[in-house]
Amino acid sequence: MDFEKIVSYIVEKSNLTREEVYRRIKPYQEEFRGFLNPEGAAYVLASHLGIE
């Protein structure tokens, strides 16, 4: 699944706005720089939010 589709899914399943999702994904990308692509960071956020 591409990044924008994952973000849309997170927005749909949570009470977060698209901007909030982007803002929450960024720290994961920074923390795992080089090891986690944007899609992976979005999946980590979804997992932490309890979204499957």
Per residue in 12-23, pLDDT (tens digit) is 999 999 999 999
The pTM assigned to this predicted structure is 0.88
Ramachandran area for residue 10 (φ above 0: left; ψ -120 to 50: alpha; else beta): alpha
Q: Residue 3, Cα to own-chain centre: how many angstroms? A: 8
1 — pLDDT class (breaks 50, 70, 90): confident
What pLDDT shows up at residue 34?
81
Q: What is the mean pLDDT of residues 17-37?
A: 94
Written in H, E and C, the secondary structure of the chain is CCHHHHHHHHHHHCCCCHHHHHHHHHHHHHHCCCCCCHHHHHHHHHHHCCCC
Q: Please state the rounded mean pLDDT for residues 20-38.
A: 93
